[in-house]
Chains A and B, each alone.
Chain A
Amino acid sequence: MDYTNKEPILNKAHITVRDLTLAYDNYTVLEGVSFSIDRGDIFIIMGGNGCGKSTLLKFLIGLKQPVKGQVFYDTVNFWESDHHVRSRILKQVGILYQKNALWSSMTLAENVALPLEEYTDLKAKQVSEIVSLKLSLVGLRGFENLYPSELSGGMQKRAALARAMALDPDILFFDEPSAGLDPVNARLLDDLILELSDSLKTTVVVISHDLASIFAIGSTSIFLDQEAKTILAFGNPKKLLEESKDPNVIAFLTRGAKGLDMNDATRR
């Protein structure tokens, strides 16, 4: 689990994180985090509220600069590259934000089209073909000219997914995808994630604390902890449930049925 002082494994590891320390101003969120995400994997970053899951995402996608440590995409060191290289890497990355982050002043079609217009030289007609393809992939054909505010939460989530997939990214990040979705829609989104990963061989990184979804889709996972400020467990979530010895991990994966004494847990 400790990759320090090792070369990133070529071809296999898609994203490698080495000894990353993250902080907001003077407050350290995570320390000495190392892990790697295999190509084509569905990788879960899990942990309780406030453990730094979403923060970790911000540093992976270049919104914030880490205090220490490196992030490699394939073999390219993200934070030491210049901004052209970074923007080329980010072009291969699609992100589904927790709050969807659809641009509210643009229609769905314009939302999906913007990444295409930004990064490709496609003609308007080709762009609109791709846009309607992507929207129909997520079941939103016919809603092209609506604004995000005119859609339900589930539809917004799917529209945001269509935008994240606009450039056929190699890596898709999902920040708490099931937040705000009802159980059926959450399940449908899980199926969609599995489908995408299977058919397009996309590497999927999911930040989640939704157990049902974690067990349904996750093939590898890391467990972050707020107090330890680092990774407490690494592996397949189902295996972790059976084998992990860490009380925090067990409590998380069993919804508090085992592991920690719940009276202690509520007091934290």
Chain B
Amino acid sequence: MNTREEMSNSLGTINFTWPEEGTLLVHLKGTWKIGQDHPAADEVMNHAAMRPGTRIITFDYSNLDAWDSSLIAFLVNLMDRCSSTGILMDQGGLPQGVVRLLRLSSGSIDSEGLLEKNADVSFLANIGEHTFKLIRYSLSVLEFLGEAFIALLKFLQGKARYRRSDLGLLIYECGAQALPIVSLISVLVGLILGFVGVVQLKIFGAQIYIANLVGIGMAREMGAMMTAIIMMGRTGAAFATQLGTMETNEEIDALKTLGISPMEFLVMPRVIALTLMMPLLCVYADIVGILGGAFVGVGMYDISLNQYYEQTRLALKLNHLYIGIIKSAIFAVIIAMSGCFHGMHVDRSASAVGYAATRAVVVGIVLIVITDGIIAVITSILKI
């Protein structure tokens, strides 16, 4: 802002003289830079108030070394105070550049509350605002679910409009491409279950029951749960970002004006692909997890592979497997819907897409855990 070389690093200061009756001459001195201490406008006003009858404030900048916006802010503040007290501020004695900037920034600089918005919103107003937000959010969720249901009916009747190649690609992305990460996590979960369990079981000399623990644990709970969490972070977030970016780029508008429902064209293939693939991934995770458990049992606790297999076969009922598979299908719907919903309801800015992905994952995981809890209660009541 300033072309003059800094001649000294002396801080910006002011002092005052009274060249004639009613006129206060402010001498601006030193360097006025943002980040340094400098006088406040009040100082001038206090000084002016010391001699009643002050009508004009003028300036002298012959000792001013360097300046930036801090000087302008000081002068604008001063100008405000002057106009409210009826004192004339004579800009003649200011550098040309300062005068021009002052003219541009005419109108007051409201220094208070500019950066802290909503500072004065009361607690109750805050609660109210959040409640309304929650109501709007819930309504749009309901609307989304309704539209999705209609689209699903159309899909089942074969009337939905989507590209088969998209569905194929999505199935590949949700299924085959997720295998490596699902393998890794499941084998580790199986290992961990085995390790933790066997330490306790060994106290009773019942190491063989590690097969029951790992088998039932994986099939009923951990297989479905871990795949769901992996897929939420991997695929759900991807759905949210894809649709969010499409929304910000007007791509979804372009579909709508073409008479293509984004629900049928974008959301349904994603929901269907994930719902088809998740149960398969879940079964795969169960098997890999059980292998992980077997690795602990067979490798470290002298159980033969045959014994381990027999024990797992005895312990594991088909019911356990069904529950896991059904759960994984339900989780798949939650993941896809959460991803798509947050993607489609994104604000039109770049940061909003990231926010949508985060929200999709958080909401999705919370819903998954809640649903898991509900299903656990239901199955225990039904004694399955």
Pairing of A with B: yes
A-B contact pairs, 28 of them (CB 8 A): A61-B257, A87-B259, A90-B257, A91-B259, A93-B257, A97-B250, A97-B253, A97-B254, A98-B250, A99-B250, A100-B249, A101-B250, A101-B253, A101-B254, A103-B246, A103-B255, A104-B246, A104-B249, A104-B251, A105-B166, A105-B242, A114-B260, A118-B161, A118-B259, A119-B259, A263-B103, A266-B104, A267-B107
Chain A residues touching B, majority SS: mixed
B374 at the interface (CB under 8 A from A): no
A62 at the interface (CB under 8 A from B): yes
B258 at the interface (CB under 8 A from A): yes
What are the residues of chain B within 8 A of A62 when measuring CB–CB?
A: 256-257
Partner of B258, one of A99, A100, A118, A266: A118
Those 4 A-B pairs whose CB atoms lie nearest each other, nearest first: A101-B250, A87-B259, A101-B254, A97-B250
What are the residues of chain B within 8 A of A267 when measuring CB–CB?
A: 106-107
Q: Is the CB of A63 within 8 A of B256?
A: yes
Docked pose: A101 CA to B250 CA in angstroms: 5
- Per-residue interface assignment for chain B, residues 93 to 119, with 1 indicating a CB less than 8 Å from any chain A CB and 0 otherwise: 000000000011011000000000000
A253 at the interface (CB under 8 A from B): no
What are the residues of chain B within 8 A of A105 when measuring CB–CB?
A: 166, 242
Residue of A nearest to B257 (CB): A61
Interface set of B (CB-CB < 8 Å, partner A): 103-104, 106-107, 161, 166, 242, 245-246, 248-251, 253-260
Chain B residues touching A, majority SS: helix
Residue of B nearest to A96 (CB): B254
A17 at the interface (CB under 8 A from B): no
- Size bracket of the A interface: 20 to 34
A33 at the interface (CB under 8 A from B): no
- Per-residue interface assignment for chain A, residues 86 to 122, with 1 indicating a CB less than 8 Å from any chain B CB and 0 otherwise: 0100110101011111111100000000110011000
Please indicate which of the listed interface residues A58, A93, A115 has the most CB atoms of chain B within 10 Å of its own CB.
A115
Docked pose: A141 CA to B274 CA in angstroms: 37
Q: A95-B254, A267-B107 are in contact. Are A101 and B249 (CB under 8 A)?
A: yes
Q: Is the CB of A63 within 8 A of B253?
A: yes
Docked pose: A263 CA to B248 CA in angstroms: 35
Docked pose: A114 CA to B251 CA in angstroms: 13
Residue of A nearest to B253 (CB): A63
